[in-house]
Amino acid sequence: MYIVYTARSFYKGIFRDTVVFNDDSICSGRQTRMKREPEAKSKPEKQQTADILQKQVLLYPNPADDKLYVMPMLEYEEYGTLELYNIMGVKVAVLVLIGNTLQTLPTGNMPAGLYAYSVKTSKGYMVKGKLIIAR
């Protein structure tokens, strides 16, 4: 038996079955077999908090032109840093983030291109992402 592909349901929260198609079932018109998908393990606490933090650190506009606005949703008296790296991996900017304060990073002197950013908080959480600077 040769497996052609595995299809997963769009409704992952509702259906947890995986459909496996093989050459016999596709060519002969036989019914496909159903396999149970193993239950997903919960993420470690630090990863869950990083997922929450990623949803709560807003960088806009993306793509940026002259200014990048950064809105961290950190706890009171919590701080962090945003580090911006160019495509070669060279750190080009650092911005200190404090609480829920909207901050501006000037990007007018940076060449257009793809940048990577990382946000590190005082509690040790880190979030990474990509940013485009366009002119």
Residue 10 has pLDDT above 80, yes or no: no
| Shared domain check, 71 and 18 | no
| Shared domain check, 78 and 14 | no
Indicate the average pLDDT of the chain: 75
What is d(CA 68, CA 48) in angstroms, rounded to the nearest whole number?
26
Model confidence band, residue 9 (pLDDT cutoffs 50, 70, 90) = very low
Confidence (pLDDT) at 126:
83
| Shared domain check, 73 and 15 | no
Q: Which two tokens stand for residue 48?
A: 């869950």
33-55 per-residue burial string, b: 16 or more CB within 10 A, e: under 16 = eeeeeeeeeeeeeeeeebeebee
Count of structural domains, the chain? 2
CATH of the domain at 108: 2.60.40.3080
| Shared domain check, 57 and 17 | no
Confidence (pLDDT) at 1:
46
The residues facing 126 across adjacent strands are: 120
Confidence (pLDDT) at 43:
58
Q: Are strands 91-98 and 126-133 parallel, antiparallel or unpaired?
A: unpaired
- Provide mean pLDDT across the span 113-128: 90
- CB-side neighbour CA atoms (13 Å) of 47: 4
pLDDT digits (tens, 9 = 90+) for 17-31: 444 444 554 455 554
